[in-house]
């Protein structure tokens, strides 16, 4: 990260702590609200990425609602975020579905079998429901293969051949058991250019059935609030669907809502000797394995405020966590100054896919959750202790 950000709150927050700045969140929300106003689309918060419900009342003032990946997320949105409540799951548990049918406005199914099983209850309650499709058009690089819903082994979405086979067998049976819409989610941290390509593939395969529908859901993975994102092209895609087919359009961004709005504040516990003949190991109170698992899973190198690439600056260190996992390494960073015990390290891009993915491996404490209000004041939303570790076992 080229700039160095040293906020007033850095020395005041307990560590480790996730810190979300309201002003940065509002910046993203204003961009998304503007998109809705100009195009008439509906933007939903994807809770799988960011579920800090402290900010749900704020988010509800800008977005149309939220989308969930399961019952608990759906319940959270129902209780905390006014607006539309959508849900998609690769498969629903029968025991969960009565509550889902009660609290969700839109339900998306991953298979025709599940659609047939649960559609009668949704129809009885007057809820809208649809089917996730697989357009079989991949836009992912090899680096993101595990995130590609259109890969050959993907379990997500109904392919055109299966869709049409069922239609033929059902004799269109009120067009596939009463679905109102189709949903496709094929992007991951991508721009609008791959969306435009994918939409063309969706139209080519499924467009002839749009006349039976009420809505089309573009899914998530849209980096709408990233500086270089091509918003005019996204708006063109939305208007094309609305004007050509008369369909409502939904988008389900997660990262775009909280992109660059949060940090993970940590402290240096120990500065060790050179381990590999090159760099000193620095042990933080923050763990990649427990507090930022995407670092190991993706893998991903989080930005550090004031930190540079290895050997870019005078002092270079390997930052790691305090767990027993030898690979609990966050990355190698350089600084203009020597690190010492008690120094604060501030990781950026830490509102998204962090709080929702933490774990307590090795009995590691979960980071506190902190909000920085618009006026700059700090509020500790939640602190965690031993009981939070124990209750999971």
Tell me the C-alpha distance between 52 and 224, whole Å.
Answer: 20
Give the residue carrying structure tokens 């269109």. Answer: 172
Task: List, in order, residues 6 or more apart from 47 with CB less than 8 Å away.
Answer: 66, 67, 68, 69, 73, 76, 77, 254, 356
Tokens of 256: 């775009």
At 170, is the secondary structure helix, strand, or coil?
A: helix
Q: What is the pLDDT of residue 3?
A: 53
Give the number of residues written for the chain: 393
Tell me whether the omega of the peptide bond preceding residue 177 falls within 30 degrees of 0, making it cis: no
* The residue to which tokens 């939305």 are assigned: 238
| CA 197 – CA 95 distance, rounded (Å) | 39
| Global confidence as pTM | 0.94
Asked if 100 and 78 touch (Cβ cutoff 8 Å), the reply is: no
Look at the alpha carbons of 232, 235, 239, 241 in this order and tell me if their dihedral is positive or negative: positive
Q: Token pair for residue 344?
A: 């604060």
| Top CATH class, 23-258 | alpha beta
- Residue 115 φ/ψ, nearest 5 degrees: -55, -50
In this structure, what token pair is assigned to residue 35? 């998109």
* Beta partners for residue 130, in sequence order: 108, 181
Kindly list the domain boundaries of the chain, sorted by start residue: 8-16+262-350+365-390, 23-258
Residue pair 65/77 in contact (Cβ under 8 Å)? The answer is yes
At residue 275, the pLDDT reads 65
Strand partners, 265: 17, 346
pLDDT at residue 299 in the model? 86
Q: Token pair of 16, please?
A: 């480790």
Q: Do residues 143 and 137 touch, judged by C-beta distance below 8 A?
A: no
pLDDT at res. 23? 97
What is the spatial distance between Cα 6 and Cα 16, in angstroms, rounded to a whole number?
16
The CATH number of 8-16+262-350+365-390, from 3.30.70.100, 2.40.37.10, 3.20.10.10, 2.130.10.10, is 2.40.37.10
H or E element that contains 194: helix 192-206
pLDDT at 1: 39
Query: Which candidate, 160, 164, 161, 159, places its Cα nearest to that of 149?
Result: 159
Supply the pLDDT for residue 2: 42
At 211-232, the pLDDT tens digits run 999 999 999 999 999 999 999 9
Task: Using 70 as the pLDDT threshold, list the residues of the chain that sit under it.
Answer: 1-3, 143-144, 170-175, 275-276
């Amino acid at each position: 990260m080229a700039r160095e950000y040293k906020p007033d709150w850095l020395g005041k927050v307990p560590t480790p702590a996730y810190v979300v700045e309201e002003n940065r969140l509002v910046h993203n929300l204003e961009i998304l609200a503007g998109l809705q106003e100009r195009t008439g689309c509906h933007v939903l918060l994807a809770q799988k990425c960011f579920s800090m419900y402290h900010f749900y009342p704020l988010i509800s003032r800008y977005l149309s609602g939220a989308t969930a990946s399961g019952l608990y997320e759906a319940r959270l949105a129902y209780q905390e975020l006014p607006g539309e409540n959508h849900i998609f799951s690769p498969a629903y548990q029968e025991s969960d579905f009565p509550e889902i049918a009660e609290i969700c406005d839109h339900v998306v199914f991953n298979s025709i079998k599940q659609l047939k099983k649960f559609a009668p209850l949704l129809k009885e309650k007057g809820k809208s429901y649809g089917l996730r499709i697989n357009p079989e058009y991949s836009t992912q690089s090899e680096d993101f293969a595990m995130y590609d819903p259109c890969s050959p082994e993907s379990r997500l979405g109904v392919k055109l051949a299966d869709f049409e086979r069922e239609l033929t067998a059902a004799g269109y049976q009120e067009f596939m058991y009463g679905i109102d819409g189709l949903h496709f989610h094929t992007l991951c941290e991508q721009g609008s250019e791959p969306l435009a390509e994918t939409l063309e593939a969706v139209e080519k395969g499924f467009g002839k059935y749009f006349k039976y529908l009420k809505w089309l859901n573009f899914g998530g993975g849209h980096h709408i609030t990233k500086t270089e994102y091509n918003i005019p092209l996204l708006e063109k895609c939305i208007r094309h669907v609305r004007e050509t087919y008369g369909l409502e359009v939904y988008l389900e961004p997660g990262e775009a809502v909280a992109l660059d709005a949060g940090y993970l504040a940590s402290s240096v516990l120990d500065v060790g000797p050179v381990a590999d003949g090159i760099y000193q190991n620095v042990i933080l109170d923050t763990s990649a394995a427990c507090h930022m698992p995407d670092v190991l899973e993706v893998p991903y190198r989080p930005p550090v405020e004031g930190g540079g690439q290895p050997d870019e600056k005078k002092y270079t260190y390997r930052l790691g966590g305090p767990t027993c996992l030898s690979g609990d390494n966050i990355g190698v960073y350089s600084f203009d100054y020597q690190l010492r015990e008690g120094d604060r390290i501030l990781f950026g891009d830490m509102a998204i896919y962090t709080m929702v993915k933490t774990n307590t491996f090795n009995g590691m404490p979960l980071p506190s959750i902190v909000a920085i209000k618009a006026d700059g004041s700090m509020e500790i939303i939640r602190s965690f202790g031993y009981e939070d570790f124990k209750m999971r076992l």
